[in-house]
Chains A and B, each alone.
Chain A
Amino acid sequence: MVTTGAAVVDRFGLQLTLALFLSVIVVTLFTALLTAPQRDEISEFYLGDRAMTPLRNGLAMCGDYVSAATLLGSTGLVALTGYDGLLYLCGTAVAWMMVLLLIAEPLRNTGRFTLGDTLALRLPRMQRPVRLALAVCTLTVTTLYLVAQLVGSVALLTQFTGEPSAATRTLCVVVMGTIVIVYAAIGGMPGATFIQIVKAVMLVSGVTVTAVMVLQHFDWNLGALLTAAADNSGSGTRFLEPGLRYGASTNSKLDFLSLQLAIVLGLAALPHVMMRLLAPKSGRVLRSSVVWAMGLVSLVCLAAGILGLGATAIVGRDTIVQTDRKGDAAVLLLAHALGGGVLTALLSCLAFVTLLAVAAGLTLAAASSLAHDVYGEVIRKGKAKQTEEVAVARLSAVVIGVLGMLLALISWGANTATLAFLAFAIAASAILPTLVYTLFWRRFTARGALLSLCGGLLCSVLLVVFSPVVSSTPESLYPSADFAWFPLQNPGIVSIPAGFLLGWLGSVLGRNETPEIYEDFEVRALVGVD
């Protein structure tokens, strides 16, 4: 947000971006309306078209998984910090391996509509408190990440128009939020899937074409690209060595490790990604879909790395920092240098669509958790009619969307990366331990689930409150106060082990669950019942 107000694009580029963005919005909104669930059946609203091919499923997964933070933030990080930024991109790809190897198939085999259904199947005796605790964690993670996306849209707008006025800012957040609500509330999962696929196709082709243009610029000579990047980075060969960003002290190295832990373990447990895993009809389709997604995510990460290096090599560090201190403008500046106004307009449109699509997926995940877990199972105790539950889900989507907009308007100056990293940390320390124990540990009990869900959530939030993010440094929320006794910005390195430990402790101390339930559950997770 702290920009010097230099706009990246000229008037023509701005109009072209607007026209492109509007046409994508119009097409996807119409499709969302056309493919929307007609009969108010919950399976259609939550899961969408279950007969999709693996490639389409994989595209939708990739769309849910790769956010605008990866597209703009990580490439900016690579452009400014070189090696450390590349590590961060690598982590994004490795995180999908967790989904592929551990989570995807057992979760689909035992799941129904939400993660809460899997937990309820495993821990039937105390399913209501567990569902409630899980819903609280899901809502916290999705709301934080949703606010990050909406704040990101303002940050993106800043790059076009310079520092926006309060009215422009409000307008931007409200328009984006409203479109997201329409996708999620009216379109349900089918509508969200369509925009995810559109976004993923645009994303994969956009970054690949631009990366090829960068390589073409250097005659396919990687050495020349690295040399030029190092020369224009202002720090010489240090640019291609570790430690430019996180190497100042042991604290900052630990901070980086903590961030990587949260990314590798947290991205895999984001609610909207897990919801998408439940959609394929058979285990075989799911497997191919996840492998497709793995390939697409790796491709995007590799291409983003080339874009970041290319931005430094072609545009130069000084211009990037002058336009946006955090480097978020790197991709757009690179596009302007390589392909002029047209490529810039294409990539800016892509960035806006990416924001929208991820926000729609998040809103839908939050709404289904509220409607299915909290309303359907906790309040109505499983007696709600399908039409009733779908109506509540639509209403919840509106409520979550409005809440997200309000929070984004209040905290528009917040750092989007910080919000996203906190969401990853909570997912990794509250949702992932519960999920892993549920799927793989025989002695896991409901008390363990409650302890690890609530404990992981509280631990990560409290550690961030008492960290330099909130007080004690000039960049903090309250720069003048100082109650930061926790030295790291990312709580993962403490809160993730704490989440696992609490789950173990609660299970060991509490009463055992009936062993037959786990045996049946395990058969189901491994063999599957199609």
Chain B
Amino acid sequence: MSHDPAYLSLRRDHRRFSVRATTVAVGGFLLYVLLSGFVPDLMNLTLSGHLTLGLALGLGQFVLMALIVWRYLVHMRTRVAPVTRGLRGLARHHEKAAARGRAATVPSVAPRAGEYRPW
């Protein structure tokens, strides 16, 4: 399956999405920590009342996280799930064909239920 074009393009898509999303989430936060530590004057800009740019960015982190989670769910539902479902069906099909091939040559032994307990 690892040379199937559908699988290869899924792999590329998914990896690109994961790297981007993680970089934005974790990198964004570390950047925020660095800004707070080394450019405090910028973070102390007053927006309204006691709300400074720093505090607003802190709340912004949570908004950003919610946004990324939403994009992640959309990505998994539209890009990944349909392809993996197809690939899994393909794998089952291959397995069945292989099992038929084996059954033709080797007398089959009834599988015991215990051997097939899912992981």
- Identify the A interface with B (CB < 8 A): 43, 83, 86-87, 90-91, 93-94, 97-98, 100-102, 111-112, 222-223, 226-227, 230, 237, 240-243, 246-247, 253, 256-257, 260-261, 264-265, 281, 284, 287, 291, 294, 298, 302, 440, 519-520, 522-523, 526-530
Are A43 and B38 interface neighbours, CB within 8 A? Answer: no
Total chain B interface residues with beta-carbon distance under 8 A: 49
Are A97 and B22 interface neighbours, CB within 8 A? Answer: yes
Collect the chain A residues with CB atoms within 8 Å of residue B36's CB: 83, 87, 242-243
The verdict on A241 contacting B54 (CB below 8 Å), with A94-B61, A291-B69 known, is: yes
Contact partner, B11, options A256, A294, A522, A528, Cβ 8 Å: A522
The verdict on A243 contacting B18 (CB below 8 Å), with A86-B58, A529-B88 known, is: no
Contact partner, B65, options A86, A94, A242, A530, Cβ 8 Å: A94
- Please, which residue of chain A has its CB at the minimum distance from the CB of B1? A523
The answer to the question of B101 belonging to the interface, with a C-beta cut-off of 8 Å to chain A, is no
Contact partner, A97, options B1, B26, B88, B118, Cβ 8 Å: B26
Chain B positions 18 through 59: 1 when the CB is less than 8 Å from some CB of chain A, otherwise 0: 100110011001101110111010011000111110110010
Are B40 and A260 interface neighbours, CB within 8 A? Answer: no
Collect the chain A residues with CB atoms within 8 Å of residue B32's CB: 87, 90
The number of A-B residue pairs with CB atoms under 8 Å apart is 133
Q: How far in angstroms is the closest Cβ of chain A from B17?
A: 9
Please report the C-alpha to C-alpha distance between residue A262 and residue B115 in the assembled complex, in whole angstroms. Answer: 42
Chain B stretch 71-116: residues in CB contact (< 8 A) with chain A: 72-73, 76, 80-81, 84, 87-88, 91
Are B26 and A226 interface neighbours, CB within 8 A? Answer: no
Are B29 and A90 interface neighbours, CB within 8 A? Answer: yes
Classify the secondary structure of B's interface with A: helix
Collect the chain A residues with CB atoms within 8 Å of residue B58's CB: 86-87, 90
Are A86 and B22 interface neighbours, CB within 8 A? Answer: no
Are B61 and A523 interface neighbours, CB within 8 A? Answer: no
Please report the C-alpha to C-alpha distance between residue A142 and residue B79 in the assembled complex, in whole angstroms. Answer: 38
Are A530 and B40 interface neighbours, CB within 8 A? Answer: no
Are B51 and A257 interface neighbours, CB within 8 A? Answer: no
Contact partner, A240, options B11, B50, B81, Cβ 8 Å: B50
The verdict on A100 contacting B1 (CB below 8 Å), with A260-B33, A264-B29, A298-B62 known, is: no
- Please, which residue of chain B has its CB at the minimum distance from the CB of A242? B36
